[in-house]
Amino acid sequence: MQKYNLGYICQPSANVKKSIAILGSTGSIGTQALEVIASHPEKFSVEVLTSNSNADLLIEQSILLQPNAVVIADEKKYHQVKTALEKFPIKVFAGDAALSQVMEMETIDMVLTAVVGFAGLKPTLAAINAGKQIALANKETLVVAGELVTALAKEKAVNIYPVDSEHSAIFQCLAGEWNNPIEKIYLTASGGPFRGKDKAFLTTVKKEQALKHPNWDMGAKITIDSASMMNKGLEMIEAKWLFHLTPDQIDVIIHPQSIIHSIVQFRDGSMKAQMGLPDMKLPIQYALGYPDRLKSTFPRFDFANYSSLTFEKPDSTTFRNLALSIVALQKGGNLPCILNAANEIAVAAFLKDQIGFLEMSDLIEECMSAIKFIEHPTLEDYIHTDHETRIKAKEWIEKKLTVIR
């Protein structure tokens, strides 16, 4: 088995059918992954499907795809799913612990982690522990506990294939370059719906405006993260762990057209970029099918429709989440975990109209200074940090709402 300097293990072209488990099959990534799988029945089969509380869609997907097992995290929905799937040979489980337990099923080859947020950490660790290859969309897992997750993957000889489009782009640029050191990477960002806006404008924005991403159709949380630039901050931390980079090797560039998905610069100064129309099915398919490029009918890029591709520097003074993420990236320890937990609570509160757009950064900054810093956290430390931060963040919101009332 050949190992590359980035820790990835060489894999021969896979002519065997892969059995896939999808953590979060009812979400934006999960449903697109099912489209990819459906168009390559000779390459993939569905072994496990999971959702949080969307029982109807989970049942519909299960009847169509006949997985071996399904899990619904929300235990209140167990009976609905169990009853609906009674006449099929499908095992039905419920609860958070079951999400991790099913990862041990021998028949699973690869796990696509498409759950949103911290909730993805435990099942992802369980899947790695069971030696399953990982296609990782759930960036929060690496943001929170990158050191632990990548160390376990190394120990278990598990590859973590990026699904996030920027990281997939970097991964694609590295094909054939595995032993050439990276000098720097540029993560591209569309800039979201508020690119170029100032703080005065941002104090007035509502969730309906923030949920309108110019180029990508995604789940609500990542769409708000994209509008606030937190998504790019999380992606910088994700890149650090996926590609073993130091903070000064990771740069962000605004590219409003979202055609160049990211860039690698090598030590001879040469740069490689990966391009294509913004369509998550492409990076999903690359991760599932690696090392093969599978045929697709996705729309192709037409140069005639794009007279220019443009680039700008990000504005981390207005979009403070980017600056806060860079602090967490540089300082490490449990600070990215604090950043992530505070952000999850902040986004949920913004979506409930409890706090304003810019207050999300105030809340995150407050948590980053209030919660105890731990330089070398254990898994228990991460779980505790996440819990403490959520309490602190909710208190902050409650205090603010009390003042308004």
Segment 5 to 34, residues that bind ligand NDP, using CB under 6 A: 24-30
The CB-of-235 to Mg ion minimum distance in angstroms stands at: 6
112 membership: H or E segment, kind and range = strand 110-113
Per CB under 6 A, the list member of 20, 65, 110, 114 interacting with ligand NDP is 114
Is beta strand 44-51 parallel, antiparallel or unpaired with respect to 160-162? Answer: unpaired
**Tokens for 35?**
């489209």
**Tokens for 371?**
């919660």
119 binds, among ligand NDP, Mg ion, none (CB under 5 to 8 A by kind): ligand NDP
Note whether 258 and 226 are within 8 A (CB): no
Cα distances from 261 to residues 130, 202, 248, 379, in angstroms, run 32, 26, 20, 32
CA dist 272 and 263 (Å) reads 6
Site pattern 318..357 for ligand NDP (x: CB under 6 A): ----------------------------------------
Residue 119 in contact with ligand NDP, rule: CB under 6 A: yes
Site pattern 178..217 for ligand NDP (x: CB under 6 A): --------------------------------------x-
Which CB sits closer to ligand NDP, 81 or 174?
A: 81
Q: What angle do CA 149, 55, 24 make, to 5 degrees?
A: 20
**Tokens for 205?**
């924005």
369 by Cβ neighbours in 10 Å (0-12 / 13-18 / 19+) ranks as exposed
Per CB under 6 A, the list member of 126, 130, 173, 218 interacting with ligand NDP is 218
Which CB sits closer to ligand NDP, 142 or 368?
A: 142
Segment 269 to 288, residues that bind ligand NDP, using CB under 6 A: 280
The CB-of-213 to ligand NDP minimum distance in angstroms stands at: 9
Mark the segment that binds ligand NDP (CB under 6 A) among 134-142, 145-153, 317-325, 339-347: 134-142
Cα distances from 69 to residues 85, 97, 110, 372, in angstroms, run 10, 14, 15, 40
Segment 155 to 174, residues that bind ligand NDP, using CB under 6 A: 164
Q: Which residues contact 79 (CB under 8 A, 6 or more apart)?
A: none
Residue 102 in contact with ligand NDP, rule: CB under 6 A: no
My answer on whether omega of the bond before 336 falls inside 30° of 0, hence cis, is no
Helix (H/G/I), strand (E/B), else coil: 144: helix
Q: At what angle do helices 139-155 and 379-404 cross, to 10 degrees?
A: 170
368 binds, among Mg ion, ligand NDP, none (CB under 5 to 8 A by kind): none
Which CB sits closer to ligand NDP, 51 or 361?
A: 51
The CB-of-164 to Mg ion minimum distance in angstroms stands at: 4
367 binds, among Mg ion, ligand NDP, none (CB under 5 to 8 A by kind): none
Residue 224 in contact with ligand NDP, rule: CB under 6 A: no
Phi–psi pair at 243, nearest 5 degrees = -120, 15
First to last CA, the chain: 64
Site size for ligand NDP (CB under 6 A)? 27
Residue 138 in contact with ligand NDP, rule: CB under 6 A: yes
Site pattern 45..64 for ligand NDP (x: CB under 6 A): ------xxxx----------
Sites of contact with Mg ion (CB under 5 A) = 164-166
Which CB sits closer to ligand NDP, 119 or 245?
A: 119
- The CA radius of gyration of the chain, in Å to the nearest whole number, is 21
Which CB sits closer to ligand NDP, 25 or 274?
A: 25
The CB-of-76 to Mg ion minimum distance in angstroms stands at: 33
The CB-of-51 to ligand NDP minimum distance in angstroms stands at: 4
Q: Which amino acid is at 168?
A: S
Estimate to the nearest angstrom the gap between the alpha carbon of 286 and the chain centroid. 15
Note whether 345 and 361 are within 8 A (CB): no
Residue 264 in contact with ligand NDP, rule: CB under 6 A: no
Question: Interface residues with ligand NDP (CB under 6 A)?
Answer: 24-30, 51-54, 73, 114-116, 119, 137-140, 164, 216, 218-219, 221-222, 280
